[in-house]
């Protein structure tokens, strides 16, 4: 909510330029009118053409899928067979629905980010219909539930992943992870001829490919097999950055929009320029995330822990009188034994 308040009031005063007054004022106006929809986690369903903070659709989709997952996980715990069947039904449905939506509406297979879309994502039919709805994003979520179930099953059984299986999974994770990312570039080519069947298939399968790559990675890592990628990602140096991920997600788009909308000259695109800009965006985003986390997120989390601890029944209440008396005597003995 702090980020939404900033966009509603101060963001428009931060820059200037030929595109700034149009795009930044539009973003500010949308947040002033629709911030309450974000608070209800309905911004990817209600008034999507005037959504406040364009990247906040993820929070709504994540919350909606979490609500759906609660009874699903309950079934997996209480009635595993029925839970597995339900999970597979949900997973298949999460593949069929994107295919049907993209094919029926003749939408782009991915969100093609051109200058017109950047000015106002709300005008992009693909963004509103195929990019932000939770049912278009459900496949990786259900694969995540499947991953947790498989990890739990393997940890509580005698079945182990062999070295050969682990190596195959590592190769598969690498290929499936990069395949949708690299192959999506073909849709930007000037000679690409749109085919609704290809677009629908790609839209449906791209997140299955990515989700499966993460599933393979977790299974290999959980099995204790050596994998340099997971060892690197598990390094302690990434722990503080991991704690800043949520705040970085909230603010990362703001410096990018500032850079795009406040530009007063044409930009020459080069490999060095893109690398330079990307690294700059990462550093700026995490720097802003650090300030946001220390000023807003961390104090609220500490307050939450304090309140939960305050109203949580004390463990001492569950002890017998003799145990409490014994503990009291031990503490007195420790005080006596302390050197003056």
In this prediction, residues 154-160 reach a mean pLDDT of: 84
Residues 158 and 225 both lie in one domain: yes
Model confidence at 82, pLDDT cuts 50, 70, 90, reads very high
In this prediction, residues 206-210 reach a mean pLDDT of: 94
- Domain final residue pick, 234, 251, 286: 234
Residues 167 and 256 both lie in one domain: no
Runs of H (alpha helix) within 156-190: 163-183
Residues 274 and 168 both lie in one domain: no
Residue 209, both tokens: 């490919």
- Report the domain count for the chain: 2
Q: How is 211-255 classified by DSSP, letter by letter?
A: HHHHHHHHHHHHTT---HHHHHHTSGGGHHHHHTHHHHHHHTHHH
In this prediction, residues 313-321 reach a mean pLDDT of: 47
Does some domain include residue 220?
Answer: yes
pLDDT digits (tens, 9 = 90+) for 86-126: 999 999 999 999 999 999 999 999 988 877 766 677 788 89
Q: Is residue 223 within 8 Å of 166, Cβ to Cβ?
A: yes
Does some domain include residue 141?
Answer: yes
Residues 166 and 246 both lie in one domain: no
Helix (H, G, I), strand (E, B) or coil at 111: coil
Q: Is residue 136 within 8 Å of 99, Cβ to Cβ?
A: no
Residues 96 and 179 both lie in one domain: yes
The Cα–Cα gap between 18 and 59 comes to 31
pLDDT digits (tens, 9 = 90+) for 164-179: 888 898 899 999 999 9
- Domain final residue pick, 204, 234, 264: 234
Residues 210 and 263 both lie in one domain: no
Does some domain include residue 32?
Answer: no
Model confidence at 155, pLDDT cuts 50, 70, 90, reads confident
- Establish how many alpha carbons lie within 13 A of residue 83's alpha carbon, considering only the half-sphere containing its beta carbon: 18
Residues 192 and 287 both lie in one domain: no
Residues 115 and 205 both lie in one domain: yes
Residues 174 and 301 both lie in one domain: no
Nearest CA to 298 out of 243, 242, 241 is that of: 243
What is the pLDDT, as a whole number, of residue 248? Answer: 92
The Cα–Cα gap between 124 and 127 comes to 5
What is the pLDDT, as a whole number, of residue 95? Answer: 96
Q: How far apart are the first and last CA of the chain?
A: 52
Does some domain include residue 330?
Answer: no
The Cα–Cα gap between 59 and 57 comes to 6
**Averaged confidence pLDDT in the chain:** 84
In this prediction, residues 209-226 reach a mean pLDDT of: 85
Q: Is residue 171 within 8 Å of 151, Cβ to Cβ?
A: no
Nearest CA to 143 out of 111, 176, 112, 174 is that of: 176
- Domain containing 130: what range? 79-234
| Residue corresponding to tokens 């999460």 | 94
Does some domain include residue 112?
Answer: yes
User: Higher pLDDT residue, 217 or 314?
Assistant: 217
Q: Which of 4-18, 63-77, 217-231, 243-257 has the lowest mean pLDDT?
A: 217-231
Residues 183 and 280 both lie in one domain: no
User: Higher pLDDT residue, 66 or 225?
Assistant: 66
What is the pLDDT, as a whole number, of residue 75? Answer: 94
- Domain final residue pick, 183, 200, 234: 234
The Cα–Cα gap between 298 and 304 comes to 10
What is the pLDDT, as a whole number, of residue 45? Answer: 92
The Cα–Cα gap between 129 and 138 comes to 14
Does some domain include residue 267?
Answer: yes
Residues 137 and 269 both lie in one domain: no
Does some domain include residue 317?
Answer: no
pLDDT digits (tens, 9 = 90+) for 16-68: 877 887 788 888 888 999 999 999 999 999 988 889 988 999 999 999 999 99
Question: Cβ neighbours of residue 259 under 8 Å, at least 6 residues apart?
Answer: 277, 281
Residues 192 and 286 both lie in one domain: no
In this prediction, residues 277-304 reach a mean pLDDT of: 89
What is the pLDDT, as a whole number, of residue 328? Answer: 44
Does some domain include residue 198?
Answer: yes
Residue 37, both tokens: 């929809």
């Amino acid at each position: 909510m702090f980020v939404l308040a900033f966009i509603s009031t101060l963001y428009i005063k931060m820059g200037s330029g030929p595109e700034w007054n149009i795009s930044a004022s539009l973003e500010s106006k949308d947040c002033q009118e629709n911030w309450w929809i974000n608070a209800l986690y309905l911004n990817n369903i209600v008034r999507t053409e005037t959504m406040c903070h364009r990247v906040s659709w993820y929070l709504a989709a994540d919350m909606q899928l979490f609500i759906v997952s609660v009874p699903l996980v309950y079934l997996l715990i209480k009635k595993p067979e029925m839970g597995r069947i339900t999970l597979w039904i949900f997973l298949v449905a999460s593949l069929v629905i994107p295919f049907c939506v993209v094919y029926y509406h003749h939408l782009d297979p991915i969100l093609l980010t051109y200058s017109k879309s950047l000015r106002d994502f709300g005008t992009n039919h693909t963004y509103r219909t195929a990019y932000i709805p939770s049912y278009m994003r459900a496949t990786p979520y259900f694969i995540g539930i499947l991953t947790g179930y498989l990890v739990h099953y393997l940890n509580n059984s005698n079945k182990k992943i062999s070295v050969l299986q682990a190596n195959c999974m590592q190769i598969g994770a690498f290929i499936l992870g990069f395949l949708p990312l690299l192959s999506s570039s073909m849709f930007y080519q000037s000679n690409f001829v749109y085919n609704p069947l290809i677009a629908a298939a790609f839209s449906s399968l791209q997140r299955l490919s990515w989700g499966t790559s993460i599933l393979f990675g977790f299974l290999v890592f959980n099995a204790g097999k050596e994998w340099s990628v997971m060892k690197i990602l598990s390094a302690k140096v990434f722990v503080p950055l991991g704690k800043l991920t949520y705040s970085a997600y909230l603010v990362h788009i703001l410096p990018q929009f500032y850079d795009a909308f406040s530009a007063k000259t044409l930009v020459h695109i080069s490999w060095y320029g893109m690398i330079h800009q990307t690294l700059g965006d990462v550093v700026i985003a995490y720097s802003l995330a650090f300030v946001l986390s220390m000023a807003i997120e961390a104090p609220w989390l500490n307050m939450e822990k304090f309140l939960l601890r305050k109203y949580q029944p004390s463990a001492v209440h569950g002890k017998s009188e003799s145990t409490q008396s014994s503990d009291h005597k031990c503490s007195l003995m420790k005080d006596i034994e302390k050197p003056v």
